[in-house]
Structure 1
Amino acid sequence: MSMHPQKHDAGMADFALDPAASFARPGDVLALVTSTDPWSPAAVAGSAIAARWGGNLTGCFIEPSARMLRDSEGEGGPAAPGRLAEPHADDVDAFAAFGSLARQSGVAAATWTTSGVGVAQTLRHLGAWHDLAVIERDMVAQSGLLDVLGEAILGCQLACLILPPRWNREIRFERVVIGCNGSLESIRAIHAAMPFLRMAKQVTLIDGDVRGSRNAYGRLPHFDPFVYLLRHHITARPQYIRASSDLAGDLLLKEARDGQVDLLVMGAYGQSPTRERFFGGATRQVLEGADIPVLMRH
């Protein structure tokens, strides 16, 4: 990808927001930028979100040679903090251009950095002081979607807005579908999505939780997603499903397509019985098949 700056082309992917809408709080937004000439979708969407949050923006360019590295392949090598640095002399132009993009979008404070380690290490490090990461799904090859990008999403403890491949349309969050099954992952995803849900004109909540959670010591406090949303003045249309994890992903994608949905919100489910991480069925299906932005949180 070219590292030469180019003035933002507003026609590529404008972030269409209701001027009357606002986010709940300032935030720190991270955009994993794959191209500066022209600016890739993550840079454009990330700058618009940061502007609406009244927050800060970080643009990070991961060196193409490092993007397909699995997390385990970085062990024993340089730690992420040592490979994430202020812009080098040959990157000054990109640093200045990113600041210009941010200012044009209305972002008060922006910074630029590069990374020579994999996506997982980069997200885990930068995620310590950011609230949201904007990521292009095709920043890694299809062969590395699950074991590279998926591994990064599961390990970063950060809300991730995943843009579908070659995304060049306006990003709207007027119609949102939430998938909730009562798990901690889905609850965290709803909490992370609150700024977007407040903007939405229509929210549909697909609830697969019918019993609540239990543990070895008795019944855990029950999280009712509808009550939680109502407390935040968000009225969601309820739908209930009973489906295995192998079918839940297809049902969420079908609902998103049939309802012309702009954003899908769901937890990122995974298991790690050894040193490996594996995606659950629904998460895998949505990550592979979604053609709209997806907000995921592990």
Structure 2
Amino acid sequence: MAFKDLLVHLDGTDHAMARLDYAAGLAARHGAHLVGLHAVEGGLPLGLTSDMGGASLGLLLAQLRKTAEADAARMRAAFEDRIRRDGLQGEWREAMDMPPEAVALHTRYADLAVLGQPEPGNAQATINEMILEAVLFTAGRPVLMLPYAGSFTPTPQTVLVAWNASKEAARAVHDALPLLQAADQVRVLAVNPRQGIGGHGDVPAADIALHLARHGVAATAQHTVANEIRESDVLLNSATDLGAGLLVMGAYGHSRLREMVLGGVTRGILARMTLPVLLAH
């Protein structure tokens, strides 16, 4: 299997170039068409409150638009240069309003979206988390999140799969198959596995490891009980111990005011991730 269409979100932040490097390498590895999407809020920032009059707000809005257009031009030049240098097939797209909805819409026509981890304290952190939630819960496609710090290979040789026998985990495993099949080592880890209907069999994670083996994936199963430690920390620590270059997991959420938001384990991973994470819902 191989990815055929990839999308990378290039928002003009300091970390956008790292996402472009990763996505271009992934596209080259799979012979995929690469879409560079610059989706930003061209209007007033979220949560802005001001006593400024209409004229002042108009000037502020014009300045924000000018900055957004300059960022878009800069990112487009970088994207098109990378496509040309690497001999890739690709195209550039822009959306200047409602970035969460825009990224989710464009992702529906790709096999995978490459996004960036929301960085605490960054002005774009809130909107980037909204983009992630919109893509995961409304696009029907997986997301590959890159940490805001570090350098990572788009061809990881060791992969950790977080398995809890849920439909989200099953979706993530299937969506990650092109990466799993290319890896030298895949470890399937069940943390605090539950038994019974809807849970695990006699040997937790063994069934999904066997399924992966039938797809040509060199997978081994492991389970651990760590009730006193957050599941997200167990997964991240295990990934570090294994030397994994990718974590694959289902993305879980709950309803809040008729919208889906990230669940505790997923949010814990995203807050402290030290390696790329492929998420699917």
With the length of structure 1 as denominator, give the TM-score of the two structures: 0.72
CA distance in 1, matches of 2:265, 2:213: 26
**Where does residue 154 of structure 1 map in the other structure?**
137
Paired AA for residue 253 in structure 1: L
- Counterpart residue number, 2:34: 57
User: Shift in Å at residue 105 of structure 1?
Assistant: 2.3
Determine the C-alpha separation between the residues in 2 that align with 1:37 and 1:281: 28
Q: What is the CA-CA distance between 1:200 and the residue it aligns to?
A: 1.1
The residue number in structure 2 matching 1:183 is 166
1:289 aligns to 2:269 (yes or no): no
**Alpha-carbon shift at residue 276 of structure 1 (Å):** 3.1
Task: Give the equivalent residue in structure 2 for 1:144.
Answer: 126
User: 2:186, 2:16 → 1: CA distance?
Assistant: 31
Instruction: Write out per-residue CA displacement over residues 113-160 of structure 1, whole angstroms, 9 at most, x where no aligned residue.
Output: 111234420222012211111111147648627852442333332211
Matched, 1:207 2:190: yes
Alpha-carbon shift at residue 100 of structure 1 (Å): 3.0
Q: TM-score, normalised by structure 2?
A: 0.76
Q: Which has the larger radius of gyration?
A: 2
**1:102 alignment counterpart:** 83
Q: Is the 8 A contact 2:156 2:246 kept in 1?
A: yes
Aligned CA distance change for structure 1 residues 150 and 31 (closer, same or farther; 3 Å): closer
What is the aligned length?
251
Write the distance in 1 (CA, Å) between the matches of 2:32 and 2:151. 24
- The runs of 5 or more residues in structure 1 that have no matched partner are 1-23, 71-87, 215-221
1:291 Cα deviation from its structure 2 partner: 1.1
Structure 1 residue 90: Cα displacement: 10
Residue number in structure 1 paired with 2:115: 135
After TM superposition, the structure 1 = structure 2 runs for residues 237-276 of structure 1, keeping only pairs within 5 Å, are 237-242=220-225, 247-272=230-255, 274-276=257-259
Supply the distance in 1 between the matched residues of 2:228 and 2:128 (Cα, whole angstroms): 17
For structure 2, the residue ranges without an aligned partner over 5 or more in a row are 48-68, 199-204
Give the one of 230, 235, 246 matched to 2:213: 230
Distance 1:137 1:231, change over 3 A: same
1:192 paired with 2:161, answer no
**What is the CA RMSD across the aligned residues, in angstroms?**
3.4
C-alpha change, 1:157 and 1:119, in structure 2 (3 Å) is farther
Change (3 A) 1:148 1:90: closer
Report the secondary structure of 1:198's partner residue: helix
